[in-house]
Structure 1
């Protein structure tokens, strides 16, 4: 008996229909005091409700496992992307049932609306689809799948608890990597905002002779082949390969700023994964360095098959710190780790010109030995504030200050360029595309 109560009674819930029926019975008993002709009708109605109540219990509980449900997900979730989640539910009863399915999603999402209602015919299988968008890396703990089942009588609900408990890691964004892999060598890159740049130089590795087309460098004309063919022919050369491409990620407090749910650090991490993928597709070597008050993780550049997985496993655990970055330590690490000249893409953020000037001596020293690209972020809220019309004196003041900060960001770009350092000033949502554009442009110009 105790087992029955633990297994069945704890999962039995009375429905609104039952309370409505009992309320009607109570009304009939009250009316009987005024209308004697009702006779035994209240007692008969009450008895019928209880009979139907026990019949409902019997038909729902006679089948030990009347419902099956399971959650179908990938082995890991992609940070900042819409991840598909599927719940498959099957009716094993010999009659149709109404189901209310609640999925206990991880607390990080703060969602209470993953509540689905559906009708299942006998032996019918249905799927529930929805998406989750995580905004932080780490472990996400899914709970139970709870299904509340009612028969056609609808007087009670039987709850089924399916152990869907599962811990899924949230990795840096990887869902769109396939698009970059497919499009990196394609002329359709512009559909994703990625431009393909015509080469203006040449490498020393000969590829083939082809017909001249407008825009080809006339210095590459092959006069002997032209004489034989009777039309202009040019030599083409292959890209330089196996170059060192290092992404350097600043983990200091300047990267804590949020934008659309993700921190600037998360945007930098997602861009690093995408750039590393494209670089290895171009047969370059991808590496990683993280920096805060001390040197963090270092992944030496390589283009082996497991390199991207190694980079993602390191970035999965990275968090922002509260101190300022030590670029002197970064310079020492770059000199000791990166033995050959390569491309260093430094993801950071400068909110003032004075902050840049404090770090500029170290950036100039790094740029002596490597091609350095400094990536920092536009403050999109300030940009919106500067374009909005001012309604009063206070609004004019705020707009003026916003325009001052925006202008100072542009001065930072010029200051870096003046010292031979490339700079990318970008909104967070366009970071990945802009960084890949810059890499492809540098490859096309034979600068790496």
Structure 2
């Protein structure tokens, strides 16, 4: 009995309407001292109000469960993307209700606005959708759903604590991966900035012999087939397949820098996932290596259907380290794991020319055996400072320093080009598009 009473008053809340009416009663009682003609009107109104409160309590508490609510969430969340979640609610009361719904989302989001107000008729159902954008990979713990119910009288609220605690994993941006995948299949990649690269010559990967149509390269005419058929026949070629594409992700402290809530490591992980998926769609083999002061995960290049899931599971667990990358160990791993000439995409970050010089000897060795593409990040905050006009002497000093750092980034690109090492200097938000563009360009120019 004590437990029931405890649950009763813990879940009972008074509304503003009730406080307003009580205030009106107090005012009438005060006025009755000065205006005797009011008589018993204040008492009558007060007792009427108390009776309505008792009726309201009876209406809301006469059933054990008056509403049903459930969270609709995906099996996993996509990092840096807007993920759609929903709350399904059904009214089991025989009268109209007003409901306030609070979903206890994980503390990582630091949001206090997940409160929804809705109106439900008897037996009516509703699905309320909302968006969450995680910025870190890992496990996110959701709590219960709190539903505050009001009857048409609106004097009190009853709270329902619906147990919906669950843990959802936040994976690298698989939603972004699917978007690029669908656009690649439908040849609509240009809509999101993916360029069509003009093919120079043709590959030697033979596809079929077909009838000649105007515009075909006359150098591909198959004269033997033409003689047999009596019509002009041409050979057609396709992109070379089964080429190896390895994404190497630097997990050192240089990748810890934040940008719009995400670390540079997260941007590199998202770009690697999309690039690996596009490579598999192009029938190439995708692989992965992560490295910090020691080698992390190694996935040999393959194009099996399960390869992208294997890469996704590995990337989900990766975290930045606090030491510099051991380039000697990384070079030894590349030599032992990658047995044939491959496209090696190295995601890292250099803030100064001296940082590059420490790693350059090992980059030159890798470039001897593979086509090396170094991807690093533009410091967008410094770029904004360098483009902003200075107002005083201190502003001039800050602007000059910012321009010096921005110039160092351009020198790094030139320094890498001297040793035939390709590079991409990209703002974090454009990293994925720029990386895919360069991969398609390399494929079109048959450089692997």
Same fold by TM-score, threshold 0.5 exceeded?
A: yes
**CA–CA separation in structure 2 for the residues paired with 1:113 and 1:23:** 30
CA contact (8 A) 1:201 1:446 kept: no
Root-mean-square deviation (CA, aligned residues, Å) is 1.9
**Alignment of 1:427 onto 2:427:** yes
1:146 touches 1:162 (CA, 8 Å); kept in 2? yes
**How far does residue 405 in structure 1 lie from its aligned partner after superposition?**
1.5
Q: Provide Cα deviations, 1:98-133, integer angstroms capped at 9, x if missing partner.
A: 111111110000000111111111111122111000
TM-score scaled by length of structure 2:
0.95
- The aligned residue for residue 290 of structure 1 is 290
- Spell out the pairing of 1:65-144 with structure 2 (5 A cutoff): 65-144=65-144
Measured against aligned partners, the alpha-carbon deviations of 1:176-223 in whole angstroms (never above 9, x if no partner) come to 222222222554221111112232143333223464666x76654556
Alignment of 1:208-357 (within 5 A): 208-209=208-209, 211=212, 219-222=219-222, 234-357=234-357
Cα distance in 2, alignment partners of residues 135 and 437 from structure 1: 25
3-state secondary structure, aligned to 2:174:
coil
Q: How many residues align?
A: 447
In the aligned structure 2, how far is the partner of 1:126 from the partner of 1:199? Answer: 53
1:345–1:375 CA contact under 8 A, matched in 2: yes
CA distance in 2 between counterparts of 1:428 and 1:230 reads 57
- 1:66-91 CA-partner distances (Å, limit 9, x unpaired): 11111101000000000001111111
Deviation at 1:231, TM superposition (A): 9.7
Match of 2:155 in 1: 155
- 1-side partners of 2:338 and 2:325: how far apart? 19
Unaligned runs of 5+ in 2: none
Partner of 1:446: 446
SS in 2 for 1:111: coil
Measure, in 2, the Cα distance between the counterparts of 1:93 and 1:250. 58
Distance 1:272 1:100 in 2: 42
Please say which of residues 73-82 and 119-128 is displaced more in the overlay: 119-128
Q: Distance in 1 between matches of 2:348 and 2:137?
A: 19
Structure 2 residue 391 is matched with structure 1 residue 391: yes
**Gaps in structure 1 of 5+ consecutive residues:** none
C-alpha distance after superposition, 1:213-246 (max 9, x if no partner): 66x7665455667899999875332222112111
Structure 2 CA distance for partners of 1:431 and 1:217, relative to 1, 3 Å: farther
User: Is 1:245–1:342's contact at 8 Å kept on the other side of the alignment?
Assistant: yes
Distance 2:186 2:318 in 1: 33
Q: Is the 8 A contact 1:200 1:217 kept in 2?
A: no
Cα separation, partners in 2 of 1:446 and 1:232, compared to 1, 3 Å = farther
Once the two structures are TM-superposed, the CA of residue 369 in structure 1 deviates from its matched residue by 1.0
TM-score, scaled relative to structure 1: 0.95
Match of 1:367 in 2: 367
Give the structure 2 partner of residue 165 of structure 1: 165
Q: Deviations over 1:400-426 (max 9, x none)?
A: 222222221111111111101110111
Structure 1 range deviating more: 203-212 or 40-49: 203-212
The residue that corresponds to 1:411 in the other structure is 411
1:212–1:399 Cα change, 3 Å: farther
**1:378 shift after superposition:** 0.5
Aligned equivalents of 1:394 and 1:224: distance in 2? 77
Distance of aligned partners of 1:389 and 1:234 in 2 relative to their CA distance in 1, 3 Å threshold: farther
Q: Aligned with 1:340: secondary structure?
A: coil
Match of 1:198 in 2: 198
Aligned-partner Cα distance in 1 for 2:436–2:28: 76
Q: 1:188 to 1:335 in 2, by over 3 A?
A: same
Q: 1:337–1:420: structure 2 CA closer, same or farther, 3 Å change rule? A: same
Secondary structure of 2:175's match? Answer: coil
Cα distance between partner residues in 2 of 1:230 and 1:429: 55
* Whole-angstrom distance in 1 between the partners of 2:199 and 2:232: 19
